Each structure stands twice: as structure tokens, then as C-alpha cells.
Amino acid sequence: MFNERVYNFSAGPSMLPLPVLEKAGREITNFGLSGMSVMEMSHRSGAYQEIFDETKDLFRQVLSVPDTHEILFMQGGATGQFAAVAMNLIGRTGLADYAVTGNFSGLAAKEAKKYGQVHIAADTAAQNHTRIPRQEELELSPDASYLHYCANNTIYGTEWDYVPRTDCPVVADMSSNILSRPVDIAAHGLIYAGVQKNMAPAGMAAVIIDRSLAGQELACTPTILNYRVMIDKDSMYNTPPTFNIYMLGLVLKWVKEQGGVRGMEELREIRSSLLYDFLDNSRLFRGCAERSARSKMNVTFRTSSPELDALFVREAAEKGLVSLAGHRVVGGMRASIYNAMPVEGVRKLVEFMGEFEKNHKNGLQR
């Protein structure tokens, strides 16, 4: 039990900025002297329309979304977009390229196979997804409707440091690194992201789509996943996830106050450098991802044994450093250091890792 807030290294749902939580708390029962919570407002009301419009405008400003692209707020999270992307885009040629560099890109490819032919342009499973393929390694189809990649792999701790080039539209799952650095939106036909890591509470996906790609949906596409319909209805074909959109607006204001995505990029460099510098000089801990592919959002590491890993996670939790266990697929440890993680939280983690290493010299690896 803790009387104060812990440093939460969860991969998602993850930490939200404390000022955002405090503001939401103050407004939870009476937003803007409306006499009601945002959660109680009609999405058709003037008061809520102002919240929606402001959030959408902030999203466009902070990420520099060009006028050619529409912004959608959709239910179902990123997993819902695995199907939505294929149903809306694969119909042009019936074929799509997928780069499989982790669990979620693999699931996206598997989902897309229900709606068309999928060609695996790259698969790093043989290297346990510890690396990112380079452009020259991608085996691209000349007639693909789109190329899909996952920009950051939360489970394996890898991140793309470039946008893959191809002659067809590029689709990116940016669930775990959106808002953490500038993005070349125009280089993408579509970007989607579950909001529960860097943007808002779980339950929504943000979609940025080139309007020219809408209107090619398969006949079986559910209306609620139809990009053309959602663009026409401005994300309000049905009741949208109203509280998520409100919270996203608060987070975007906070990001803007911190210097925007450039400010977030500077902070992510500081946080990740602190942790990777320690790992590179540790005799007990070792990083899992190849150095050239290291994620600056999800740092994966382990000790010399699963037993020592488990002990580290337990003792860290007692110090208020929680949710450090690695994903069940890979084990080990994982520190998710998204935008809301204070630099001080990473410093505390590194300090504890140093203490743990001193106390367990019998487990040293080199």
C-alpha cells in the first residue's frame, strides 16, 4: 500500500501526467460550470462540441497534421484498427505488405488475412524480434494496396528509426510512441494509435488518414469501422468515447506546454539515455534489443536468471517502482518510459538497479 503516487512503468494503460489528472479531478463533477461531468454530457450538446473541436484542433497542431489528412477518434483501440485498416484499404488490389517485427504487427497481419492476401515483407521472429529490418531488407510487392509496420514494439523493446519507403501508401501503428517525437505525417497514408500509452485512458484509437484513401472499403466493412462514414460524420456516427476525447485534449494541452513533440523528444532522449547507459555498464543487467533498434519508449532487460528477475520486480515494487515485469511472452523486465514518466522516476529506477546489483554479486553475468 502506498500513500503517495508510485512510478508506474506499465506498458499500458500507463501513467498520465499528474497535472492532467489533477485538472480532470477538479472538473469531474462540474465541467465549466455546466453543473455536470463531461461523462454525463450529450455528445450532441454545444458544450461537448467545443471540447471535441478543441481536442481535434490541438491534435492537428501538436502533430503538424497536414490538411490532406483527416483525424478520427474511434472505439475499439488499436486492435480494432487491425481489421479496419484491412477492410478499408486492402480492396484496391486485394494484397497488402506487412512487416512483422513483434507481437502486434503479427496480430495485425493475421487479422488482415481474413480480408485479402497478405505478403510478409519482413519477419524478425528468427532473431526473437530484437532488431528492425533496414529498408534494403524489405521484400515489397509491386501491387500491394499498402505497407503496414508497427513503429514501436512494446513487448520486445524495439523501434523503427525510419519510415519505410514504398510505392503504395504506408500504414503505421504508432500506439506506443505517438506524441514522443515529430512524425512525417505526409509520408504516411494512415497512422493509428491506441490512446492508453501516451494520450489518454484506454478505450479509443486515434486515426490520421489521407482522405484520398477513404471510400475503398470492402462490402463487409461494418459501418462503425468505415473510414468514409466516420470522416463524413466527424467521428460521431454513434456516441463517441467522450471522456477519452476530453482527456486527450488535456494531455495535448500539457504536451504543448512542455514544448510540443520537440520537448517530448528531448525528454525521451534523457530518460532512455539514463537507463541504457546504466545497462551498457552493468555486470548484472543486460538489454534485450540490439543497440541499433532500441526503443526509447519500452526498455527491455533481464538479469542472469528468471528467479533473479522475479526478485528484482518484487523488490522494485516495494520501493514504489511498479509494473516492471516483462510481457508474459518474453519474461525478463520492461520499463515503459512514456511521455508522462518524470525523469526523476527513471533516476530512481537506475539507483535501485545499482543497489540491487551490489546486493546480488553472485548473479553477475560478466
Q: Residue for cell digits 553472485?
A: 362
| DSSP line for 50-65 | HHHHHHHHHHHHHHT-
What pLDDT is recorded for position 329?
Answer: 87
Are 102 and 34 in a shared domain? yes
Are 295 and 210 in a shared domain? no
Task: Give the CATH number for residue 297.
Answer: 3.90.1150.10
Tell me the average pLDDT across 208-220.
Answer: 97
Are 287 and 298 in a shared domain? yes
Are 121 and 101 in contact by the 8 Å Cβ rule? The answer is no
Pick from 211, 234, 257: which residue ends a domain?
257
- The amino acid at residue 111 is E
- Edge-first strand listing for the sheet containing 333-336: 286-287, 298-302, 333-336
Q: Which set of grid coordinates corresponds to residue 236?
A: 460521431
Q: Residue for cell digits 514504489?
A: 320
Are 283 and 251 in a shared domain? no
Inside any domain, residue 4:
no
Are 54 and 78 in a shared domain? yes
What pLDDT is recorded for position 101?
Answer: 98
Q: Residue for cell digits 478520427?
A: 72
Average confidence score pLDDT of the chain: 96
Q: Which domain holds residue 351?
A: 259-363
User: Mapped to the 3 state alphabet, what secondary structure does 16-37 carry?
Assistant: CCHHHHHHHHHCCCCHHHCCCC
Dihedral sign for Cα atoms in the order 126, 128, 129, 134: negative
What pLDDT is recorded for position 172?
Answer: 98
Are 145 and 267 in a shared domain? no
Are 187 and 163 in contact by the 8 Å Cβ rule? The answer is yes
Are 156 and 189 in a shared domain? yes
What pLDDT is recorded for position 319?
Answer: 96
pLDDT digits (tens, 9 = 90+) for 315-331: 999 999 999 999 998 99
Which CB contacts under 8 angstroms, 24+ apart, belong to 236-243?
236/43, 236/44, 236/52, 239/43, 240/43, 240/52, 240/73, 240/75, 241/73, 241/75, 241/203, 241/204, 242/38, 242/39, 242/41, 242/43, 242/48, 243/38, 243/39, 243/201
Pick from 191, 225, 257: which residue ends a domain?
257
Are 192 and 284 in a shared domain? no
Are 276 and 232 in a shared domain? no
Tell me the average pLDDT across 18-35.
Answer: 95
Are 229 and 272 in a shared domain? no
Strands 298-302 and 286-287: antiparallel
- The amino acid at residue 247 is M
Residue 180, Cα to own-chain centre: how many angstroms?
9
Report the chain's terminal Cα–Cα distance, integer Å.
Answer: 36
Query: CA distances (Å), 299 to each of 11, 49, 201, 357, in order?
Result: 10, 39, 22, 18
Task: Give the CATH number for residue 38.
Answer: 3.40.640.10
pLDDT digits (tens, 9 = 90+) for 160-213: 999 999 999 999 999 999 999 999 999 999 999 999 999 999 999 999 999 999
Are 100 and 226 in a shared domain? yes
Are 209 and 284 in a shared domain? no
The pTM of the full predicted model, rounded to 2 decimals, is 0.96
Looking at the structure of the chain, the number of domains it has is 2
